[in-house]
Amino acid sequence: MQRFILSKKNHITLVSAILIVIGFTGELGFKNEAVAVAALVLASILGAMPIAIQAYQALKVKIVSIDVLVTIAVVGAFFIQNFEESAIVTFLFLFGAFLEQRTLNKTRSAIKELTEMAPESALKQMASGEFEEVDVDEVDVGDILLVKTGAKIPVDGTVLSGEGSINEASITGESLPVSKEKGSTVFAGTILDNGTIQIAADRVGEDTTFGKIIELVEEAQDSKSEAERFIDRFSKYYTPAVLVLGILVWVFSRNLELAITILVLGCPGALVIGVPVSNVAGIGNGARHGILLKGSEVIGDFSRLDTMVFDKTGTLTAGNPSVAEKEYYGENTQEALGYLASIERESDHPLARAVLEEIGETKFSLVENTEVVKGGGIAATVGGHRIAVGNVALMERENVTLGEQAKADIARFEKSGNSLVLTSVDGELKVLMGVRDQIRPGVKKDLRRLKKLGVKNLVMLSGDNQGTVDAVSRELGLTEAHGSMLPEDKSAYIKRLIEEEGQIVAFVGDGVNDSPSLALAHIGIAMGSGTDVAIETSDVVLMNSDFSRLPHALGLTKATARNMKQNILIAVGVVLFLLASVFFSEWMNMSIGMLVHEASILVVILNGMRLLRYKLR
């Protein structure tokens, strides 16, 4: 019976409204007291039923809720035969709850939109070689799927054949289509704008990036911040205190109407709902822009940030080194480049790939007697010649004489932030290349925006040599930059900032080799296109590794924190105003108090909803 009544709460609200209209029409229009009283009594009883049930359920778990206060107030109004007040209070309370739910549902639109984007079916290759439409749950890792123009990608996978452009807004927040070809990675929930592709399923169901996004946003919206937990504790004691105040007023004044008015006006509804709605709206905005804020707690720390620490490669730089400068010495340069390419093609080091890309097509020779020199490079025999490829230390080990011009070139290359690749043939220097990782486009502007948002210190930590690190730091205008750092050195630096200097620190990295630092910082921010390690380790994930999302994320958390404070001030201010009006004015009564109370709840909800439209100026 209780469940049935609660399920019909909206219908009861409508019937109560009709009965109140009949009651006042009967009294004012037709001067029929009996019809007016009957209608208002019935409206009071109907309206009080769901409220009383919710109050009973709260008391069963030893909680004095708002419903308890309203139920006592309505019973008291009924007892003193103030049926107009009891009917109007129950209607306003129920109607306010209806409006709150409607408005709150809008703040959850981001997760609803994400859920609706989830693919439901897939064209799967069967044993016969034909493609048949199956439910997405029937797709397993390794299955081959066909995706046609306009269809959703059903799984995370790798393109086997075909080409096309894909709208990845559901994953990255970026509306511009991304071109895909054989070997490209695709994500579930994204849409193939044009073309036809076949993909191999790498991750399916909840294991896909899209599935993890939905799970994380749901968890984040259900999590509670420190402010919310405080308000929960506050309400636990505040609501019974209002009840005790009402009893004391009745005991000392014998004015039952004043006592039950205080019960209605003291309801902390706006206070209880104001902070959660801000958090939900802020997290929803982030999800729409490819930013995963993993919980309400993240918002509080992020908004008070002092220092932001960056990994260099793949974060401030593109992570794709290329040859920026080169010098050749002596004769037979093409022959030397062929020897260099022959050695480098056997290495998977990023510098080797950059060198091979720079050399292009050349004649390769057989590489023999390869010796890897730790911290130096590689020495080998190629075409009967002793070839050494590496840094200055390796050249010294190989007794290669560096002339004055070569030393000047080396100093110049290092000052420009290059990693050096020197090549000697039979003890004579032939090639000097400076390999540099290019700074991400727009990073300098984004760092300035972070400073304007209140970040005091911008620090870079890198495993590269100090010269390279200093060159990048000068170009970007960073506060500090430290090179030659191993992952454990980075985490030790973060720990010192937090424990010794008391700073609130965010670490921005790729989420793989920097996972200790991501976990140790107050806020770990992963630039990882949704990789598993990034999602698991960090507090914030920038889904498309777009650095420009970082200022938006910081601005959003600051706006959310401000919004929470505004809602708390509105809620507390309204309660104080109402209680003061009871004691110091003649016009305040239960009905007006409940109207203002419900209006304040809607105000804090609408204020929170503004965050859904937030954009960084």
* Residues with Cβ within 8 Å of residue 216, at least 6 apart in sequence: 292, 294, 535, 541
* Catalytic residue (one of 67, 143, 156, 311): 311
Residue 198 and residue 160 in contact, taking contact as beta carbons nearer than 8 Å: yes
* Residues with Cβ within 8 Å of residue 554, at least 6 apart in sequence: 302, 303, 305, 450, 453, 455
Segment of 249-258, 330-339, 462-471 carrying the highest mean pLDDT: 330-339
Taking residues 227-240, report their average pLDDT: 73
Total residues found in the chain within this entry: 617
User: CB-side exposure of 151: number of CA atoms within 13 Å?
Assistant: 20
CA angle, 285 as apex, 534 and 216 as ends, to 5°? Answer: 35
Taking residues 527-552, report their average pLDDT: 73
Segment of 213-217, 252-256, 559-563, 594-598 carrying the highest mean pLDDT: 559-563
Model-wide pTM > 0.75: no
Tokens of 575: 């309660």
CATH topology classification for 297-312+447-550:
Rossmann fold (3.40.50)
Taking residues 553-557, report their average pLDDT: 94
* Residue tagged 């309370």 (tokens): 93
Taking residues 203-208, report their average pLDDT: 83
Q: What distances in angstroms separate CA 125 from CA 155, 158, 190, one per listed residue?
A: 14, 15, 20
> How do residues 134-174 score in pLDDT, each as one tens digit?
999 899 999 999 999 888 899 989 999 998 888 876 665 55
Mean pLDDT of the chain: 83
Which pLDDT score, from 0 to 100, does residue 218 have? Answer: 62
Which pLDDT score, from 0 to 100, does residue 332 have? Answer: 86
Does residue 534 carry a pLDDT above 60? Answer: no
Residue 180 and residue 197 in contact, taking contact as beta carbons nearer than 8 Å: yes
Nearest-CA neighbor of 192 among 202, 205, 178? 178
* Residue tagged 């929930």 (tokens): 189
Superfamily of domain 322-436 in CATH is Calcium-transporting ATPase, cytoplasmic domain N (3.40.1110.10)
Q: SS3 for 184?
A: coil
Give the C-alpha separation, 514 to 319, whole Å: 15
Which pLDDT score, from 0 to 100, does residue 530 have? Answer: 44
Q: How many CB atoms lie within 10 A of CB 132?
A: 12
Does residue 47 carry a pLDDT above 90? Answer: no
Give the C-alpha separation, 473 to 492, whole Å: 21
Return the percentage of the chain with pLDDT > 90, whole number. Answer: 21
Given pLDDT bands bounded at 50, 70 and 90, which one contains residue 562? very high
Q: What distances in angstroms separate CA 509 from CA 5, 83, 85, 452, one per listed residue?
A: 53, 64, 60, 22
Give the C-alpha separation, 405 to 327, whole Å: 10
Segment of 343-352, 486-495, 509-518 carrying the highest mean pLDDT: 486-495
Taking residues 396-411, report their average pLDDT: 90
Q: What distances in angstroms separate CA 185 from CA 182, 202, 357, one per listed residue?
A: 9, 9, 23
Verify whether residue 510 is a known catalytic residue.
no
Q: Which of 203-207, 465-469, 576-580 has the lowest mean pLDDT?
A: 465-469
Tokens of 103: 């408005």
Give the C-alpha separation, 47 to 93, whole Å: 9
Does residue 602 carry a pLDDT above 70? Answer: yes
CATH topology classification for 120-154+156-203:
2.70.150
User: In the chain, what are the domain boundaries?
Assistant: 120-154+156-203, 297-312+447-550, 322-436
**Region label for 319, one of left (φ > 0), alpha (ψ between -120 and 50) or beta (otherwise):** left
> How do residues 284-298 score in pLDDT, each as one tens digit?
888 888 888 877 778
Q: Which of 45-59, 107-121, 196-210 has the lowest mean pLDDT?
A: 107-121
Give the C-alpha separation, 191 to 172, whole Å: 12
Give strand ranges (E) for 291-440: 291-293, 307-311, 322-328, 367-373, 377-382, 385-390, 419-425, 428-436
